[in-house]
Every structure is written in C-alpha cells, then in structure tokens.
C-alpha cells in the first residue's frame, strides 16, 4: 500500500472499549490518533500507542491540532457520556470525517447518536449479552454474530436429523426460517459459499446460516 492510500483512524475515548480498539489498530501498524481528555490515561497508553493525545473532543480546535481532520474513520467510544459523544460526533462531521462509528450504552443513546450523524452505532455489552444468551439457549451454536437486534449469522454443526439429506429435501428456509450462507468441512477453514441445492449434508459439515433471532431457540440442532 502506498503512503497516499494509507488509512488513518481516530479513536476518541480510551476507556476499556476504546483502549482495546486503539491498541489493536496500533499493533497492526495502521496509522492512528488516539484521544482522551484524561492525561493519566494518555500517559499510561503512550508506551503502547505512538500517537496518543490529551484533548477534549468537545473542542473542535483541539481536534484540529491533533490532526483529526485527516482521518478516514473515527471511533467515538465514550458510550456512557452522551453530551461528550454528541459534541464529538458533531465536530467530526464538521471536520468532514466520512465514516463515524460510535459506541452507545443503551437504545436511547444510540437513537440520539444516529440522529446527530454517526454512520454506525454499536452497543458492545448488549450485543455480547445477546451472543452469550443465544449460545446458552442452543449450545450447539459454534459461533454467532448479531447483525441487528432481530437477525443473526451463526455457524452450527450439522444436526444429526439433517445428515444424509440434501438442502432441497430439508427445505430449511420454509421449515425453519433460515438461509444457508455457506458450508465448511471439518478441519478446514475455508467456507464454500456456492452450495448446490442437491448437496447432501455430511456429519463432518459445519453450516453458516442466517436466521431471525426469534427462530433460533426453536431450531432443533440435535
């Protein structure tokens, strides 16, 4: 990648979530500006992150001094401080940042952040709670990614009842309300996405499926 095409990320708010995001981005060697208004937090992270700045995101001039206007993506991770998050988002919009991701602690905060211009709003604690709950309800779910509050993508081991039958015979969309996105064979990492309807499921297969969250509990994966 040439210097002119390098992405620049900004992380504002270096609590547990922002810290993890910033350190992970920095460790990949990607260009990053990390910002927090607590000088002690900034000092603690200065050994891990080359460009960490003590600044108040509510002050657009401080953001300019930090070079935020050159960023491609900004992550606002002050989820419990609505006023600071809103002001940061508004300042980022004024500075012309094209992709703003914000962390919200609840649905009300999410609604407000979306209204003031955040392109994506995430609720990590809520989303992780959903993942844990769904995995507990159905332990045979290998992994799950919550796309929205009511829609998820997950990987499951092929249930015994489905083995030896083709996808067309199973008619999973009509019976279970799920869509097969891909199939991964045991001990392989590659997911095959171009799956023929006549493919017969084997006991060594893992399925990537998309389903309405409300239908997951009713899936018979035994």
pLDDT in tens, 5-15: 589 999 999 99
Q: Is 69 helix (H, G, I), strand (E, B) or coil?
A: helix
| pLDDT tens-place string over residues 28-38 | 899 999 999 99
pLDDT at 146: 67
- DSSP class of residue 193 equals -
Predicted pLDDT at 159: 87
Residues linked to residue 184 through DSSP beta bridges, in sequence order: 206
Top pLDDT among 220 and 94 is at 94
CA distance 91 to 61: 9
What is the rounded radius of gyration, in angstroms, for the C-alpha atoms of the chain? 22
pLDDT for residue 149 is more than 70: no
pLDDT at 41 over 90: yes
pLDDT at 106 over 50: yes
More confident: 176 or 216: 176
Beta bridge partners of 35: 12, 53
**Domains of the chain as residue ranges with CATH:** 3-122 (3.40.50.720), 127-216 (3.30.70.1450)
How far is residue 33 from each of residues 41, 57, 84, measured CA to CA in Å?
Answer: 14, 12, 18
């Amino acid at each position: 990648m040439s210097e002119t095409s390098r992405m620049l990320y900004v992380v504002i708010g270096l609590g547990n979530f922002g810290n993890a995001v910033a350190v992970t981005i920095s460790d990949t060697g990607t260009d990053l500006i990390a910002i927090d208004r607590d000088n002690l937090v900034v000092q603690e992270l200065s050994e891990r992150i080359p460009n960490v700045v003590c600044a108040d995101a509510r002050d657009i001039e401080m953001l300019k001094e930090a070079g935020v206007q050159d960023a491609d993506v900004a992550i606002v991770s002050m989820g419990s401080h609505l006023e600071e998050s809103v002001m940061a988002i508004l300042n980022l919009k004024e500075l012309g940042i094209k992709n703003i991701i914000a962390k919200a602690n609840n649905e009300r905060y999410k609604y407000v952040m979306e209204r003031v211009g955040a392109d994506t709003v995430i609720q990590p604690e809520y989303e992780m709670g959903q993942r844990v709950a769904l995995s507990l309800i159905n332990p045979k779910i290998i992994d799950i990614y919550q796309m929205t509050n009511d829609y998820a993508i997950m990987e499951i081991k092929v249930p015994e009842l489905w083995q030896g039958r083709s996808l067309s015979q199973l008619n999973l969309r009509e019976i279970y309300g799920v869509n097969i996105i891909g199939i991964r064979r045991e001990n392989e990492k590659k997911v095959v996405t171009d799956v023929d309807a006549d493919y017969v499921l084997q006991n060594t297969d893992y399925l990537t499926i998309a389903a309405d969250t409300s239908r997951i509990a009713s899936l018979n994966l035994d």
